[in-house]
Amino acid sequence: MGVVNASSIKLVCFGQDTIIIDAAIHRFHGRLSRLPNYATDYKINPMNHTLQAIETIEVHISSDDVKLTHSVNESYTISINEYSSLVVIESENVFGALYALETLGQLLEFGWLDGEGDDAVYVIRNIPIGIEDFPRYEYRGLLIDTSRHFLPLDLILANLDAMLMNKINVLHWHMTDSQSFPYLIESMPELAVKGAYHPKMVYTRKDIQRVIHEAYLRGIRVIPEVDMPGHTQSIAASRPDLMSCCPHPSDPLDPTNPKVYDFIRDIYQDLRNVFVDDFVHVGGDEVDLSCWDNSKDIVHWRQQHNISSSVGLFELFETQLLEIVEKVGRTPIVWQEVFNLNLTLTATTIIDVWKGFDTKTMSDATRRGFKVILSGCWYLDHLTLDWQNFYSCNPSNFTGRTDLLLGGHASMWGEHVDASNFISRIYPRVSAMAERLWTGDISIAKENVRQRISDFRCRMVQQGFAAQPIGPGFCAHEVPYQSCKTGDRIPSTTLQLEL
């Protein structure tokens, strides 16, 4: 059995010397400092195992390429020989090394406090160990919704560590919706000034760049979404001239108004200047086409331009939107309605299938050569779906071109979620999705999955995340109760019951 002393273990990197590795080493040591409750009760080597001291973790990275893209190689190997004091990690690039360190962290179990002081000793069971690992799907995402409830910046940043623990590599940031527009665009500040819940409940360019930077250090891409033409009521607060009149200014945006496309160009130019990823989510879901049918001005315009239906107007809008996205050099992702309505799409458009496990749409889209992302299996706001439902979804179980399935994402829509319950609503249910997207449909991975999810949840709790339990039991490190201050409580003697 290997033993690691938390205070003396060395982590050395060969072939790469970047802030990414420096940050990873810092996180690794920080996690070893989090001890379980009642750590002094743990006996030293209670089973009298033969102990092999592990003194050094070597990380060997063969490439100096640090660009984070969709197709980045995330594979790695871990080797621990029976009589060696070394753990050897090898990867092509730094991002594979990040996941190797996460896996190594899962192999480390708290053993005891050493007899000479309070230094933590961790154990690695069943050595020798040889691991060759890589993800089945390249796109493993989590959608967060900052419109229906504003999420504090420090929560978004903390969640990046939770995502890394789960090997989730895409943050899909649904920034705006009908409820609020917290995205502060420097060239159009009035959108957030009038569209946010509060002047301080906004994300500045500096805030967004910090999220992107911290995500990058963890191998996480940040993909923005400003949903259009529907889900845009918050825009009406500052730009009613862009809205359809049915009969009052409201969403969806008016596709017959040339100002709308100037507005979209400005939006996507700002997105391009702030967000570095090649992908951008352009929305397109739940558009109220009946509004366009009930607007006299829009119907008149449609007749003048020989457009026979509101679907034709949607086609006009999406065609111009995708042209704008293409000109700013981004790859668009659309919600599945845009495909289901048979609108004209660019060849690079990716279809986000969100209406359940819609195998027909996945099959039809891939047969036509479109890449797809599945999200319909993993809606975190559906509280009747537990981790077992999430794990049971095999995204490749459709009769199309499975090679065009990029992966999937879980969606934490924010109607009933804010900082008070964000983490517990997501984890560990999303952990089941994350494992499925990493391992695919390997039968051996399905063995003991309940215990594995429960153990992983406890690891998250020990690292400070209030992940909800999946059933009866306990963790070695429980979530502390955050009570109000004692002085703020109402003394029981002052309470009187009225009978």
Q: How far, in Å, CA of 289 to CA of 230, rounded?
A: 9
Place of tokens 């999200």: 375
| DSSP states along 259-308 | HHHHHHHHHHHHHHHH---SEEEEE--S--HHHHHT-HHHHHHHHHTT--
Q: At 355, phi and psi to the nearest 5? A: -90, 70
* 20, two tokens: 């990414």
| DSSP states along 422-446 | HHHHHTTHHHHHHHHHHH-S-GGGG
Q: For residues 20 and 98, is the Cβ–Cβ distance under 8 A?
A: yes
Alpha-carbon torsion angle 141, 353, 469, 423, nearest 10: 50
The residues carrying an active-site annotation are 286
The CA-based angle 422-425-429, given to 5 degrees, is 135
Q: How far, in Å, CA of 423 to CA of 140, rounded?
A: 18
Q: How far, in Å, CA of 366 to CA of 363, rounded?
A: 5
Helix (H) or strand (E) holding 371: strand 371-374
- Strand-pairing partners, residue 113, are 120
The dihedral sign for the CA sequence 220, 224, 230, 231:
positive
Q: What is the DSSP letter of 316?
A: H
* 382, two tokens: 């559906």
- Residue 493, SS3 per DSSP: helix
| SS (HEC) of 38-98 | CHHHCCCCCCCCCCEECCEEEEEECCCCCCCCCCCCCCEEEEECCCCCEEEEEECCHHHHH
- Residue 22, SS3 per DSSP: helix
* 335, two tokens: 């919600």
Q: Which amino acid, one-letter code, is at 235?
A: I
